[in-house]
Structure 1
């Protein structure tokens, strides 16, 4: 799990590619690698997702990781492992998926929303806080006050421009979907992260 976390902390944005075809998912992932991102999440809601996963793995540069999200059952997790997923993500608490990931030696980001769910998931590893837009960055601040050591990845309804707000709220990385595929997204992402990295007046 440490490898995925290290890469996520560096890139700070996790592309979550929920697309209408396997070809579009593969093309989207390739675009993300072109941005310099090294961890990409495809989703099991994409038709023929297994083909998208295999094709993306073949095209992926060395040192990148391709995972599958929206993994909601142990059976689906097994299929994902067989298709070559390098990490798994669930949208909600899914102990059966966790068991498959552990048996396969794969990292797992478990979905959670309530403080109790987040605490339970954080005991095993990083947590996908979903749907994050419902609570907003202030909700993440509250979660971090309760669980300061937790690695939280808010996902769901987050626009690219809002990424710095979530990072300031304590996110390990931020899941972003379709906004990353819009024209000019690469430049917007670089600009936003560069601005986030600039020291504040207090720190100067």
Structure 2
């Protein structure tokens, strides 16, 4: 995951985006300056969206699969061409699957025990979820005993607090429904959506 995150501090989380709007949505985000996408596997047509986006962006963006918490979702995401996986928890089955097929993974953690489990499987870059429900300094508390670990903040990240997360030691963030106003998506106002995302990117 490190090589993906080095130049991508923002991951656009696509959950519940209608299939017919998926490419327009992703294009708006891309034009705003974001090159890393997560398509949640518990969304309708998630695998199809991943396939379409991989074909559309080619090597110009990273397209991953999120909420990959079962073997069925692991297989579907891999077949769709997802370039990396994310989980909301320290799901050992997904960790084993990703090690078997050499798929980059950002496993989800919240507690020290979660972090310890991920380290046992060889993952030192993790997704702290839900980051917005924890104190801003919480990531520093985790890094104390678990030196050498890095974290991406997901859950509760907004345009207004993204800099706070980064200033407190997170190497990146994932933003879902707060990435752009819902009315832009509803009304197909993709230029406005792109400018909104651009504002977030420029703020960091």
TM-fit CA distance, 1:177: 1.1
Contact 1:110 1:127 in 2 (8 A): yes
Of residues 42, 45, 58, the one that matches 1:45 is 42
Distance in 1 separating the partners of 2:29 and 2:102: 25
Task: Provide Cα deviations, 1:86-136, integer angstroms capped at 9, x if missing partner.
Answer: 101111111111122122221011111111102322452221111111103
Structure-1 residue corresponding to 2:200 = 189
Q: TM-score, normalised by structure 1?
A: 0.85
After superposition, residues 1-204 of structure 1 pair within 5 angstroms as 1-4=1-4, 8-123=5-120, 124-125=122-123, 126-182=125-181, 183=193, 184-193=195-204
TM-fit CA distance, 1:65: 1.1
TM-fit CA distance, 1:152: 0.4
Distance in 2 separating the partners of 1:146 and 1:26: 42
TM-fit CA distance, 1:146: 2.6
Q: TM-score, normalised by structure 2?
A: 0.85
Higher RCO (CA-CA < 8 Å; seq separation 6+): 2
Contact 1:9 1:173 in 2 (8 A): no
Q: Which runs of 5+ in 1 are unaligned?
A: 194-204
How many aligned residue pairs are there? 190
Contact 1:179 1:185 in 2 (8 A): no
Task: Specify whether residues 151 and 23 from structure 1 end up closer, same or farther in structure 2 by C-alpha distance, changes over 3 A only.
Answer: farther
